[in-house]
Structure 1
């Protein structure tokens, strides 16, 4: 069975050090996710995180517990969990496009939609994450 977990959280990162912290998060997460055979995507707006993870149920629960304990997050809100019909990020242990103010504004709107519009907003968010990861490969 393939499981998924997606959340949106409020960042506790110091804005002046956020880029450095994000580099550290990505450097740790890629090999960890690869070792757990977890794939997914991470978005960061400067204010909020959004992440989609997919893999074996035990691996997803392990990462979820780690994220819920992580002091860099607060107000972690699950927007999707449970069984996943297929992988969205087959070749990405962690797709991350990096910071951008323009992109952050678009992402913030998508995060609000995911929180307010249920499945429709969640599916649009995952589609956007998928498009970022495909285009980011270039």
Structure 2
């Protein structure tokens, strides 16, 4: 059964991570596990929606929550869905500019 998951998190003040690597690794993993979604990042805040099988999303969610990149994690929803929103995207990624950082 298809599920949608949305979370918001912040980066830790002292965290160091490579967003390009995270996005590329996510694309490969997600494609292999039939997960689609989108990630928005403004330098301090992540907003991500993922779509896929409940078991696969639970596994990904656990990986994300263990990541050093995430802090103050908030699961907004994790619920059944009837169709994919990002069916053509294993991982759409948008890095916000300084002018857009207040959107979240």
TM-score by length of 2: 0.90
Higher relative contact order (CA 8 A, sep 6+): 2
Corresponding pairs, count:
104
Task: Give the Å deviation of 1:14.
Answer: 5.4
Q: What is the RMSD of the two structures over their aligned residues, measured on CA atoms? A: 1.7
In the other structure, the counterpart of 1:136 is none
Q: List alignment gaps of at least 5 residues for structure 1.
A: 109-138
- Structure 2 distance, partners of 1:102, 1:70, is 27
Q: Which runs of 5+ in 2 are unaligned?
A: none
Give the distance between the partners of 2:100 and 2:56, measured in 1 at CA. Answer: 30
- CA 1:99–1:61 in structure 2 vs 1: closer, same or farther (change >3 Å)? same
Shift of 1:66: 0.4
Which segments of structure 1 move beyond 4 Å, counting only runs of 4 or more?
none
- 3-state DSSP of counterpart to 1:55: strand
**1:97 Cα shift?**
2.1
- In the alignment, the residues of structure 2 paired with residue 103 and residue 37 of structure 1 have an alpha-carbon distance, to the nearest angstrom, of 31
SS at 1:46 equivalent: coil
CA contact 2:2–2:82 (8 Å) conserved in 1: yes
The aligned residue for residue 68 of structure 2 is: 71
Correspondence 1:30 to 2:27: yes
Name whichever structure is richer in strand by fraction: 2
Which structure carries more helix by proportion? 1
> Whole-Å Cα distance in 2 between the matches of residues 104 and 91 of structure 1?
26
Query: How many angstroms apart in 2 are the aligned matches of 1:59 and 1:3?
Result: 10
- State whether structure 2 residue 57 is matched by structure 1 residue 60: yes
Q: Check 1:13–1:32 CA distance in 2 against 1; reply closer, same or farther (3 A cut).
A: farther
